[in-house]
Every structure is written in C-alpha cells, then in structure tokens.
Amino acid sequence: MTPEARPVTTPAGARRAALLTPGAGLYSARVAWRHSLRFRLALTYSALSAVLLMLITLGVVSLLLSRMDQQFVDRLNDRADTLAEAFTRNSGGLGRTAGGAGAYTLLIDPDGQVIAASPALRDYIDAGYPFGSLTRVPIQNTTVRAVKRQAGNFGTLWVGLPEDDLIAARQSALSALLLALVTAPLILLLTGWWVGRRALAGLEQAANLADRLDPAHSLEPLPLPAREDEVQRLLGAINSLLGRIEAQQAREKQLLGQIVHELGAPLTVLKASLQRAEARLGDPEVARAALVADELTFTTQDLMQLARGQLELKLAWHYIPAQTLRDRLDRLVPGTTFTGHWGSGILCDPDRLTQALRNLLANGRRHAGAEGTVTLDLHETPEQLCFRVRDSGPGLPPELGDQIFEPFVSGAGSSGLGLSVARQIARMHGGDLTGSTHPEGGALFTLTLPGVALSDDEGEDLADSDLLDEPPLTPAGGPGS
C-alpha cells in the first residue's frame, strides 16, 4: 500500500527526528563542533584577537627595533664626534688609541693612506684605505657599521662599532613575535571556548528543555532561570508561545468536536435510510451510496477520536466471540478474505476494535483496487492476539517508516486518519500496530492485543456475566460515537 501523500523531510528535520528517536541520547548528546555556536564564537573571537594582537605586536616590535637602531646610530655618531674633536683640539688625540674597547678606528691621511688604527685593525696601517664608501663592513667575523669625520690637519677619521648586540636583539624580538603569533591564537581559541561554554550554558539548557517539548502530549511551561538575561527572555517567549499553542489547540478541538457532532446525526439517518432502500429495492446505485455514507460515518468517528485525544477516551470492555467481530467486518468491508482461527473470544472494546480493523481493511481495499485482494488473518497465542491485514497493492515506501501512522497523511479517497486512529486504538488496548511490506508484495499491517487465557471455571463465570453479552450494534455494524 502506498500512502497518498508523502511528507517532505528536510535534512534538519531528519536530524531532529533522529535525535527524538528512543535510544538516540537526545539530552546527553553533544553538538558537533562544526555546528556549535560556542565554537563559532570562540573561533571568531580568536581570529579577531589574533589579527589585533599581530598588528599591535608588529607595531611594538617595529617601534622597538627602530629605537634600538636609532640608539646604536646615536652612540656611533657620539663616539665619532668625540674622537674627531680630540684630534682637532690642539692635536690632543695624537699618539692615543682611537676609541675604546669594542671600537674600530682608522686615521686616513689626505692621500688615502692609513696612518693610525685601533689594535684590531693594525694590519691596515701604511696601506690604502680598504673600505671605500661602505657604511657596513665585515671585520673579524662580525658586521661593523662605520661613519667618517674630519680630524683636523690629520685627514679623515673612520669610526666603526660592531652590530652583534643589535642583530641579536633584532633576532630575539622577531623570535618572540613568531612565537606569539603561533601560540596566541591557540590560547585565545581555548580561552574563548571555555568562556563561551560558561556564558552559553544557559542557552544550551534552554535548547535541551525546548527539545523535550511535545505539543501532542504536554505543553507545560519551561522553568525560568533566576538571572535576568537573554536566556530568561528566550524561555519566557517560548512559554508565551506554548500558551498560545495550547489555547489554539483547545479551540481547534472544540471546533472539530462541534463539526463532528453536527455531521453525525444526519449521516446516521442518511445511512439508515439508504440501507433500508437498498434492502427494499436492491438497486446497486443505492448500495454504492450506502457505502459512501458508511465511509463518511467512519470518517466522522476518526475525527471525533482525534478531537477527544487518547487520554480522554475510555474503553467499554466486553468479552465477545471472534466470529462476531468477523461478521461485523465482513459487512463493513465486503470482499475481505478471512483466514486463521476465529473460534476464540476477544476481550476488547468491540466498537473501537472494529473501527481499527475496519480502517486497516478499507485502507487495503483502497490500494489493492477492485480486482485486488485483502486478507485478514487471526492468530492466537496464550500471550497475544495477532491480526494481520495484507493487501495486494504496491506495498509501503521504505523511506517513510512510521510516518504512515501520522495524522493527515492523506490522499485520494482518504481522510488520512485511518492508520493513526487504528494505532491509537491498538495501544489503548495494551497492544500495538506496525506496518511493513510483505516479502511477496503488498502491504502488511500487524495489530496485536494482549491475550486472555481463561480456564474452564473462568469461562463459566464469564458466561454468566454481562461481558459475554454482545453490545448493541450501531447501524451497519459501525462503531458508536
């Protein structure tokens, strides 16, 4: 059997349906990191913080290196000026070592010959000046930055300072910058995740509470947190929405009940009149009209059950022969093939069980067609009664699963309530209703009820009780309202 209309399931709806499946661990499940608001906030916070930190650090390091370089240049110029002044003031520097420890000096005459040098550069004395216009020269495996000054009548004074300390400081600053750029984003990400987890804990709890809501069973308001924040406002808005949904559901049930009540009486009169006309005239058109009236009567019964809800319905228990149930169903759904053991008794609400099985048989007949077959098999064990309804239709689409039992999965010639009401009635009796596709084709619905194992004495007691009395039948064997 193929349901006439297939609900569209979105990926998000499929994920939520999977979470709501029993055993899926809805409330203990953690949101995947790529779908976590905490992770996205922490990642955004970390990325922005890392960019800002990089810009600030680059600025600070650049300023620091610039100041260090300027200090080095100032020290070099100060030393060169001091030495040049010593040579020009009454030849006060003549014969002394130019500079101090760590300084490199050369005194160059107007002809370009080195006439004096610091101890590390004595090899250049009495030779031509070797460095030309270079301001950075390699000396003894180190880089030396140099400047020139006029040394009075002696010529030109060349003064250099090694850049080892400056280069080491620059490398240390760049290493610190690189380390900060590598570790800071990770630290910021972990910190943001921890802060976000604490800050959004109330939001996660609100989401878990909202996931527990089931409008079909309960619309109890959610508990509000003590702290007045966005989470409390969100839960308050949800509670307000729940109140409006509950009021709307009550109005819909009331309206549905009124509609069914208004339709029930004229349909009952119409059905009885058509049945009498059929018995008197034998006209097939009248018989077909009687079947349509019967279909409408059962539709109103399904609507009434939907309006009342399972908790508001009470079963009228009777112990009836299975053959009585079979006779009812044979009149309601002509052409049904009955197999199995129908000689036992059934403890049930006859009207409700008739309604459930009639819905299954009519559904099967609708999809099997006029030339197809519909079979109802009864199998009894000490533990349960098992009704199997099989048709020769196309079977059930495997992707729908239990969605075929949802209300208003409807289509041509159907209200979409039959399977939903049938399962509800089965569960009210302590049983269940499942559906599948038979291996040989066609739909197979299995309705189970708890078994009633009676001893001989118990059977005699029940024979004297009212439970064995068959309840009055509604017109055409249909269930009462």
354: how many CB neighbours lie within 10 A of its CB? 24
**Does residue 376 belong to any structural domain of this protein?**
yes
User: Which regions of the chain are under pLDDT 70?
Assistant: 1-38, 90-102, 202, 214-218, 291, 295, 298, 302, 305-313, 408-416, 453-481
Rg of the Cα trace of the chain?
A: 48
Taking the mean position of all CA atoms in its chain, how far away is CA 191? 25
In a domain, 410, yes or no: yes
Bridge partners (DSSP) listed for residue 387: 378, 447
- Residue-averaged pLDDT of the chain: 76
Name the domain boundary from 278, 297, 313: 313
Q: Are 56 and 202 in contact (CB under 8 A)?
A: no
Count of C-beta atoms within a 10 Å radius of residue 362: 21
**Residue 109 belongs to some domain of the structure:** no
Shared-domain flag, residues 308 and 336: no
Is residue 354 domain-shared with residue 450, that is, in the same domain?
Answer: yes
Quickly count: other Cβ atoms within 10 Å of residue 337's Cβ. 10
The CATH number of whichever domain residue 339 belongs to comes to 3.30.565.10
Q: Are residues 344 and 226 in the same domain?
A: no
Give 49: exposed, middle or buried? Use CB within 10 Å, 0-12, 13-18, 19+.
middle
Does the residue 152 lie in any domain?
no
Q: Which two tokens stand for residue 152?
A: 């009075």
Which domain range does residue 233 map to? 213-313
The answer to whether residues 391 and 437 touch, using CB atoms and an 8 Å cutoff, is no
335 and 385 inside one domain:
yes
Q: Are residues 324 and 303 in the same domain?
A: no
Helix (H, G, I), strand (E, B) or coil at 417: coil
Whether 399 is in a domain gets the answer yes
> DSSP string spanning 155-195?
-EEEEEEE-HHHHHHHHHHHHHHHHHHHHHHHHHHHHHHHH
What span, in angstroms and rounded, lies between the C-alpha atoms of 353 and 319? Answer: 12
Based on the domain organization, do 298 and 324 belong to the same domain?
A: no
Measure the CA–CA gap between 277 and 306, rounded to whole angstroms: 32
CA neighbor of 373 nearest in space, from 312, 441, 437, 436: 441
User: For the chain, what is the domain count?
Assistant: 2
Q: What is the dihedral of CA 227, 230, 232, 238, to 10 degrees?
A: 180
CA distance 345 to 462: 11
For residue 133, give the 3-state DSSP assignment.
coil
Q: How many helices (H) and strands (E) does the chain have?
A: 10, 12
Q: Which of 298, 313, 328 is the last residue of a domain?
A: 313
Question: Does the global pTM surpass 0.95?
Answer: no
Structure tokens that stand for 22 in this block: 């029993």
> What per-residue confidence (pLDDT) applies to 34?
60
Whether residue 41 is contained in a domain is answered as no
Other CB atoms within 10 A of residue 436 CB: 13
Check residue 450 and give its pLDDT: 92
Report which secondary-structure segment, H or E, holds 280: helix 230-281
* 472 and 326 assigned to the same domain: yes
Q: Can you point out the beta strands (E) in 268-399?
A: 318-321, 336-340, 345-348, 374-380, 384-391
Residue the block writes with tokens 């955004």: 44
CA-based nearest residue to 209, from 193, 196, 220: 220
Q: Strand pairing of 114-117 and 318-321?
A: unpaired
Q: Is residue 177 part of a domain?
A: no
Examine the domain organization and report whether 463 and 327 are in the same domain.
yes
Residues 286 and 431 in one domain: no
CA–CA dist 431, 408 (Å, integer): 22
Q: Any idea what the Cα angle at residue 275 is, between residues 272 and 279, rounded to 5°?
A: 140
Of 288, 313, 338, the domain-final residue: 313
Q: Is 364 exposed, middle or buried (0-12, 13-18, 19+ CB in 10 A)?
A: buried
**Domain contains 354:** yes
Of 345, 356, 327, 417, the residue nearest 385 (C-alpha): 345
- Provide the 3-class DSSP secondary structure of residue 108: strand
Residues with Cβ within 8 Å of residue 386, at least 6 apart in sequence: 378, 379, 380, 446, 447, 448
